[in-house]
Chain A
Amino acid sequence: MLKKLWTHYFIPQERNNYRASILKPNFLLLLLVAYLLNQSAIKTLTIAKPGILGYSSEITAQKVFDQTNIQRQKDGLSPLIYNETLSKSAKAKAQDMFANDYWSHNSPQGKTPWTFFDNVGYKYSVAGENLAKDFYDTDSLMKAWMASPTHKANIVHTRYQEIGIAVINGTIGGVKTTLVVQHFGTPLVASVAPKNTNLKPSSDVVEPSTEVVNLPDLETSNILGKTSQPLISPLTLSKIFGSVIFIILAVVLFIDGFVTVKKDVHRFTGSNIGHIGFLVLIFLLMLYNQQGSIF
């Protein structure tokens, strides 16, 4: 009975008019509906239970701060000191990006990153900014920043002493996202140095500190707090579900093509080779898709 059912859905034969039932339009439509339902469930969970699934549930300012200092310590640099004023400027930058719907260091109104430092009254000799959006976990975010020479240069800049971080949810370009803004700086003490984020690193090496710094409680309305550990990324879940359906379809298409050519069956159906080619392309692109982008 089970074998009969299995062959009916997966193997072309007289009973299914020499076309595996799973490849018939009504069954394909069913797969499409199943996938859409799965996506809806993921989105619903993202909103209802942000600690379990979500486009940003894992990232917190504390984790970004800790990992930034871990990267610095790997390079033998002194850890950055958390600065509340810099966090305010980072938060203002993120809110400005949401309010004016842009994804850039400079706003359409001509505001540069330095505008936000100035607005909160942070006087600096050296300053820098890192931006990221759409990342699900802090590890992926840090990997992306460290893989980019310009972002890495900010993280392991020898001249920076302080850091402020904002992790804020909102909508950019009609898409819900999480922005992560890092503002780096060294306060202006005695001499006035020019605003420059590309200063040559000094050769002074400060002994790394093992001191654990806990950030003060940040606002929880917009900034993601210390939520529960996520079980699985929604991107991974989408990829797994999509991959399973795609692999099944590709295998059945292959078997279907093989059997019908071998039996010399002529049918009015789409090209199996064309379908396989298109599905393989989509499958590869789906696997290639990564989370997040940096600026």
Chain B
Amino acid sequence: MIFPKEVKQKPLEYLVLLLGLIFGFCLYIFIDNSQIRRWIIYSLGMIYFCWSLYHHYKRGDLQLSIVIEYLIIILLGIVFISGTLF
């Protein structure tokens, strides 16, 4: 397996991310309120952003271009899902 090489180096970091995303997913499914769901999505975006800052800081490659890349990916996710929240 080639892909999990990055994961093997920092398994705990990826486990934390996975648990955070699964928790957000479950919360989203069980709460049937579009306003609260919006906030869950914003929180998930924030969790992913914080995780990325920590992850790259620990890796020693925290750069502005990387931060911008994460911000745009998160923004894409939030905007996309907001478009289907009625």
Q: Which residues of A contact B (CB under 8 A)?
A: 23, 25, 28-29, 31-32, 35-36, 39, 55, 134, 173, 175, 235, 238-239, 242, 245-246, 249, 257-258, 261-262, 268-275, 277-279, 281-282, 284-286, 288-289, 291-293
Contacts and interface: CB of A to CB of B under 8 A. Distances in A.
A285 B41 contact: yes
A274 B17 contact: yes
Given A235-B84, A239-B84, A282-B41, 11 more contacts: A25-B65, A39-B83, A245-B76, A268-B65, A272-B6, A274-B17, A278-B44, A278-B77, A279-B73, A282-B81, A289-B84
Nearest to A290: B86
B74 A257 contact: no
18 contacts: A23-B69, A25-B68, A28-B73, A28-B76, A32-B76, A239-B84, A242-B84, A261-B2, A272-B6, A273-B7, A273-B14, A274-B14, A274-B51, A275-B73, A278-B77, A282-B81, A285-B41, A286-B80
B29 A288 contact: yes
Given A242-B80, A277-B17, A278-B77, A285 B28 contact: yes
B79 A270 contact: no
Contact of A271 (B18, B55, B79, B86): B55
B36 interface: no
A279 B77 contact: yes
Interface residues of B, number: 44
B17 A32 contact: no
A94 B68 CA distance: 46
Interface of B: 2-7, 14, 17-18, 21, 24-25, 28-29, 32, 34-35, 41, 44, 48, 51-52, 55-56, 61, 63, 65-66, 68-70, 72-77, 79-81, 83-86
A28 B76 CA distance: 8
A216 to B, nearest CB: 31
Q: From DSSP, what is the main secondary structure of chain B's interface residues?
A: helix
A277 to B, nearest CB: 6
Contacts of A249: 76
Contacts of A292: 86
A289 B28 CA distance: 10
A21 B25 CA distance: 30
A275 B24 CA distance: 16
Contacts of A273: 3-4, 6-7, 14
A289 B86 contact: yes
A25 B69 contact: yes
A292 B84 CA distance: 11
Contacts of A28: 69, 72-73, 76
B78 to A, nearest CB: 8
Contacts of A270: 52, 56, 66, 69-70, 73
A39 B80 CA distance: 9
Given A25-B65, A273-B3, A285-B41, A134 B86 contact: yes
